Amino acid sequence: MEVEPGQEKSGRSKGLTVLMDILETLLLSVVLFFLINAVSARIKIDGSSMEPSLHNGEFVIVSKLNYRFGEPERGDVVVFDYPKNVTQEYIKRVVGLPGETVTIENGTVYIDGQPLQEPYVSEPPAYQGTWEVSRGSLFVLGDNRNNSSDSHDWGEVPKENLIGEALLVYWPPPSWGLVNGAEPVLASK
């Protein structure tokens, strides 16, 4: 059986077209992967330090862009490189901002002498102390105050250690939802 010259070329063209389609798809996938990772991260909650807000085993989407265009605010749940070992990532809530004095006394957190109302805390802290938050740093605490390794233990978090703001729990499905449901409020004097 003889193959006509046009038919042979057509078979090669189809093969080349399929190969180009596969390469384009792979290239697009790689580009999308890097774009998604440039603007977001995904982390798994490891431990109970953020209960009742976040639970062990939940997966969270983190925005890496929020603090490129804005500043962290009190109440934000942030992911950062642990200052004592930058190979570890921690997730905590911002309580104290640069230049503020954080005091914990009789189970209440005070910012510059004003009590902080925190509806997300599992129970009041059983420890006490006063900390001055340096310029360019944050004071962070876990929502499970008495079972959290945080700024009351090891100090402030330099802003350059921030990875981003935790936005959304995406796994498991029953836990789907926004991370920052309740905001802390400074009581007026």
| φ and ψ of 9, to 5 deg | -65, -35
CB 115 within 8 A of CB 185: no
Q: Which of 13, 29, 44, 49 is catalytic?
A: 49
In single-letter form, the type of residue at position 176 comes to: W
Q: Catalytic residue at 175?
A: no
Strands (E), 7-136: 40-44, 59-63, 77-81, 89-96, 101-105, 108-111, 114-117, 129-132
What SS3 string covers 102-147?
A: EEEECCEEEECCEEEECCCCCCCCCCCEEEECCCCEEEEECCCHHH
Tokens of 184: 């802390």
Count CA atoms closer than 13 A to 24's CA, side-chain side. 6
Catalytically annotated residue among 13, 48, 63, 92? 92
| Residue in 91, 92, 94, 116 with CA at minimum distance from that of residue 103 | 116
Q: Any residues with CB less than 8 A from the CB of 41 and at least 6 apart, and which?
A: 61, 62, 64, 79, 163, 164
49 assigned to active site? yes
What amino acid positions are annotated as catalytic residues?
49, 92
